[in-house]
């Protein structure tokens, strides 16, 4: 029998881990510089939490067999878990709350795809308890700052507004609104052209599908669609947000896309994606948006708290960065090899290795564990492992330090 990890999962070997940590450490440093604090929530959640607010479809959750009546599942994303924790465990904190995470998530593979990926790694933030243009701008700017920190190239920010798109869809009859929504999201022009709709509504649907491009052009086009006062207010907010993003010293590549529709139904305001051209094709690096109704689902008194956040897909970032030369190309070598020259010197060797570890903040020290070998064999072993210093330990004698080329 050949033992392998379950389908849809994989083992991360030391070099994989070094590259993954390179990505996560830079993102975490960025999040911290913006005043965000790390939160860790349970890997296992109740299905009621995961599906609250229309966040997750039950069919996508990997469910667990519990001992009692509670229905449990592995988290497929973090927003619902953090919303639950913020409302139920952080009731006395002041707002806004700035939280970030790095974690693994799980999702059931699509039906009929037995080898599809089931475990993913994500990093992201949630800004809770505040609404408005400045909060939206901070979240998007933080996302862009993280992308810049990773030195990702050939990417775009796709920006939309779930509330505006949902409002524009309300003129379609209930029976076809879902079909129109899916067709717009999938850029399915054929469905829209053949759907049984009055011609005016058909043209409206096709118009909505084409609301993407340079922000100034899209904002002008949507403003000419006979908007209500509420819809025009959202357009004005989008214009202000775009102006804030463009006020940065380095202007980001922004595409305004009012046909952008996320799979999660809890988004109420701006939504966004970062997409990049990679050797594997065009891929989504991260996504997020505003959700002003989700936290109220978990509050015992039904009080509502605004929220906005994003997640970055660490695997997709890893693939996109593989050919850039940014990622570590080898695992870090040890700094020292401590060698007891005789069996009697073993205690002294352990003690000296610990002395080095305590003297330097970050240092890798290996103890030579093999039976006695000749000195040249040991030196070659150090060279093979890219270790540049050997400490030779003899009982009752000072260590002899040797530099290895």
Looking only at the bridges linking them, the beta strands covering 63-64 and 72-74 are antiparallel
Q: Using omega within 30 degrees of 0 as the cis cutoff, is the peptide bond preceding 96 cis?
A: yes
CATH 3.30.930.10-classified regions of the chain: 14-321
| Cα angle value 74/79/82 (rounded, 5°) | 90
> Which band of pLDDT confidence, cut at 50, 70 and 90, is reported for residue 175?
confident
Report the distance separating Cα 286 and Cα 102, nearest Å.
13
Average pLDDT of the residues in 215-228? 92
How many percent of the chain have pLDDT more than 70? Answer: 97
Average pLDDT of the residues in 238-265? 86
Q: Report the range of poorest mean pLDDT among 43-57, 87-101, 150-164, 282-296.
A: 43-57
Report the distance separating Cα 238 and Cα 137, nearest Å.
10
Q: Report the range of poorest mean pLDDT among 62-76, 149-163, 206-220.
A: 62-76
pLDDT for res 57: 75
Q: How do residues 79-134 score in pLDDT, each as one tens digit? A: 989 988 988 887 778 889 999 999 999 988 766 555 578 899 999 999 999 999 99
> Which band of pLDDT confidence, cut at 50, 70 and 90, is reported for residue 148?
very high
The two structure tokens encoding residue 57 = 């479809």
Look at residue 362 and tell me whether its pLDDT is greater than 70. yes
pLDDT for res 111: 61
pLDDT for res 54: 65
CATH of domain 336-403: 3.40.50.800
pTM above 0.75? yes
Inter-residue contact 342 to 336 (CB < 8 Å): no
> Which band of pLDDT confidence, cut at 50, 70 and 90, is reported for residue 330?
very high
Report the distance separating Cα 398 and Cα 96, nearest Å.
58
What string of H, E and C letters represents the secondary structure of the chain?
Answer: CCCCCCCCCCCCCHHHHHHHHHHHHHHHHHHHHCCCEECCCCCEEEHHHHHHHHCCCHHHCCEECCCCCCCEEECCCCHHHHHHHHHHHCCCCCCCEEEEEEEEEECCCCCCCCCCCCEEEEEEEEEECCCCHHHHHHHHHHHHHHHHHCCCCCEEEEEEEHHHHHHHHCCCCHHHHHHHHHHHHCCCHHHHHHCCCCHHHHHHHHHHHCCEECHHHHHHHHHCCCCCHHHHHHHHHHHHHHHHHHCCCCCCCEEEECCCCCCCCCCCCEEEEEEEEECCEEEEEEEEEECCCHHHHHCCCCCCCCEEEEEEEHHHHHHHHCCCCCCCCCCCCCCEEEEECCHHHHHHHHHHHHHHHHHCCCCCEEECCCCCCCHHHHHHHHHHCCCCEEEEECCCCCCEEEECC
Q: What is the largest CA-CA distance in the chain?
A: 96
pLDDT for res 126: 97
Average pLDDT of the residues in 267-274? 94
CATH 3.40.50.800-classified regions of the chain: 336-403
Q: How do residues 242-255 score in pLDDT, each as one tens digit? A: 999 998 777 899 99
pLDDT for res 6: 83
Q: Report the range of poorest mean pLDDT among 15-29, 110-124, 202-216, 222-236.
A: 110-124
Average pLDDT of the residues in 269-284? 92
Return the CATH fold of 14-321.
BirA Bifunctional Protein; domain 2 (3.30.930)
Residues 6+ positions from 149 with CB-CB distance below 8 Å: 26, 27, 29, 30
Residues 6+ positions from 308 with CB-CB distance below 8 Å: 126, 127, 131, 135, 136, 139, 269, 270, 288, 289, 290, 291
């Amino acid at each position: 029998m050949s033992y392998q990890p379950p389908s849809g999962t994989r083992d991360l070997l030391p070099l994989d881990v070094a590259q993954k940590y390179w990505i996560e450490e830079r993102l975490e440093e960025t999040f911290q510089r913006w005043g965000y604090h790390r939160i860790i929530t349970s890997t296992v959640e109740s299905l009621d939490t995961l599906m609250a607010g229309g966040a997750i479809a039950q069919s996508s959750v990997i469910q667990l067999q519990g001992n009692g009546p509670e229905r449990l599942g592995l988290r497929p994303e973090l927003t619902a878990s953090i919303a639950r924790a913020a409302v139920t465990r952080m009731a006395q904190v002041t707002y806004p709350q700035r939280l970030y995470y790095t974690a693994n998530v799980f999702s059931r593979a699509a039906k009929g795809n037995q080898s599809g990926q089931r475990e993913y790694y994500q990093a992201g933030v949630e800004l809770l308890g505040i609404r408005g243009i400045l909060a939206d701008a901070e979240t998007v700017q933080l996302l862009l700052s993280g992308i810049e920190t990773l030195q990702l190239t050939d990417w775009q920010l796709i920006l939309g507004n779930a509330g505006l798109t949902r409002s524009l869809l309300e003129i379609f009859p209930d029976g076809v609104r879902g079909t129109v929504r899916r067709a717009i999201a999938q850029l399915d022009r054929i469905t829209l052209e053949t759907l049984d709709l009055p011609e005016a509504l058909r043209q409206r649907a096709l118009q909505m599908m084409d609301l993407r491009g340079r922000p100034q052009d899209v904002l002008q086009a949507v403003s000419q669609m006979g908007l209500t006062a509420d819809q025009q207010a959202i357009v004005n907010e989008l214009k202000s947000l775009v102006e804030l993003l463009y006020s940065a010293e380095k202007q980001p590549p922004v595409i305004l896309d009012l046909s952008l529709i996320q799979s999660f139904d809890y988004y109420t305001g701006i939504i966004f994606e970062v997409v990049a051209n990679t050797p594997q094709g065009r891929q989504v690096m991260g996504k997020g948006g505003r959700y002003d109704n989700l936290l109220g689902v978990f509050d015992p008194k039904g009080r509502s708290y605004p929220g906005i956040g994003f997640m970055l897909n660490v695997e997709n970032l890893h693939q996109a960065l593989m050919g850039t030369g940014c990622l570590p190309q080898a695992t870090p070598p040890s700094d020292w090899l401590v060698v007891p020259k005789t069996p009697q010197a073993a205690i002294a060797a352990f003690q000296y290795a610990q002395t080095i570890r305590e003297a330097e903040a970050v240092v890798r020290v290996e103890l030579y564990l093999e039976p006695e070998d000749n000195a040249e064999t040991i030196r070659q072993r150090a060279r093979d492992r890219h270790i540049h210093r050997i400490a030779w330990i003899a009982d009752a004698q000072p260590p002899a330090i040797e530099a290895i080329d």
